[in-house]
Structure 1
């Protein structure tokens, strides 16, 4: 099985997921993983689809022909994760410019690989101050996990790091 990673963005309108899933099914693809979001009047997402090599190119062409979405695709094969463990971290801090760059830099410097990052801004319950909240899935060698968490916590006095499952 080959895999097709699809990223897309377009004006939000009803039926986008239905249209994408219909094209995938029509070409015997299997929707594996996805992250889809409404962002300021647009709809954007990333989808991983598996399909046999005899159907993958036709699927790719059908997706590229969509007029209402900007679509990019990449045919790939699943990677071997090796000795690295996937860890989910919940990060909370006062929001500030550059916080994502600071966090991603520490993860990289400590030998981690950022697999998934979902972040949002929100108001703190009692003060109303703008807070940064993120859930990050990271692949890291288990022996480096404590060092990684310490390095993240040392970024700022207000950064809290929790390991979740």
Structure 2
């Protein structure tokens, strides 16, 4: 089986996921993973679908017929990295410009690969101060996990890092 990664953005309206899932089903695709979000009046997402090589081309063509969505597709094969361990980081800090760049730079410098990042801003419960929080899934060699955590904690005094495997 090959995979097709579908990314899209467009004005949010009811029925978009139904249209996408109907096209996937009609072309014998198997919806593997997805991340779908409503952001500032837009609907954006990424979907991974597995399908036979013969169905992927037709699936790709059918996706381009959906009005009001800008869609980009990439055909790929699943990969595996046997030496890396997947860890989840929960990060919390005072919000500031450039915090995502600082975090992603440290992950890269410590030979980690950022697999998934979900972040948000919110008010701290007692002070109302704007806080940054994120949950990141990282692929990193077991030998580099401690160095990665230490480097992340050195970004700023207020950055808290919790890790789980």
Return the offset for 1:54.
Answer: 1.0
Structure 2: how far apart are the matches of 1:40 and 1:164? 31
Structure 1 match to 2:120: 120
Question: Is 1:25–2:54 an aligned residue pair?
Answer: no
5+ residue gaps, structure 1, are: none
Stretch of structure 1 that moved more, 77-86 or 145-154: 77-86
Which aligned pairs between 1:69-88 and structure 2 lie closer than 5 A?
69-88=69-88
- Note the aligned Cα RMSD (angstroms): 0.7
The aligned length equals: 165
Structure 2 match to 1:37: 37
Superposed CA deviations along residues 80-138 of structure 1, whole A, max 9, x for unmatched, are: 21200000000000000000000000000000000000000000000000000000000
Structure 2 match to 1:95: 95
5+ residue gaps, structure 2, are: none
Aligned residue for 2:73, secondary structure, equals strand
Structure 2: how far apart are the matches of 1:81 and 1:91? 25
Structure 2 match to 1:8: 8
TM-score by length of 1: 0.99
Question: Is 1:53–2:79 an aligned residue pair?
Answer: no
Return the offset for 1:164.
Answer: 3.1
Moved over 2 A (4+): none
Structure 1: how far apart are the matches of 2:65 and 2:58? 11
Question: Is 1:67–2:67 an aligned residue pair?
Answer: yes
